[in-house]
Amino acid sequence: IKSMAGDNSLKSFTVWVLVALTTGASAVVMTTVWLTKYLGGFDWNNEKVFNYHPLFMVIGMVFLYANSALVYRVFRNSRKPLLKSVHGIHGTRVQHSRPSCCV
């Protein structure tokens, strides 16, 4: 009985991880569509340069931070130093992907 409960909880966990990843990816896609269709897209040379800000915030603060936190749960049978390295790389990507205006 115990092994069946473990299998069921692992399946449930996998479903919730996929839901979380799908939600994050769809937030990035919906933000991109919103900025492109309703706010005129992206451009580095005029007033549309601010349109990058909400997109980068969603990518960094929602998607990459969530993935960084999920690393410890998804790969729970891996060695701890490897997990810390992957977690640190994700966190560093978020910190270095922010423009200097947002520090």
Q: Where are the domains of the chain?
A: 7-80
**What is the structure's pLDDT at 32?**
94
**What is the structure's pLDDT at 99?**
53
pLDDT tens by residue, 13-68: 889 889 999 999 999 999 999 999 988 888 888 888 888 889 988 988 888 888 87
Which residue, 74, 57, 56, is CA-closest to 20?
74
Residues near 68 by Cβ (< 8 Å), separated by ≥ 6? 87, 90, 91, 94
Query: Would you say the pTM of this structure is higher than 0.75?
Result: no
pLDDT band at 103 (very low <50, low <70, confident <90, very high): very low
Query: Whole-angstrom Cα distance, residue 21 to residue 73?
Result: 13
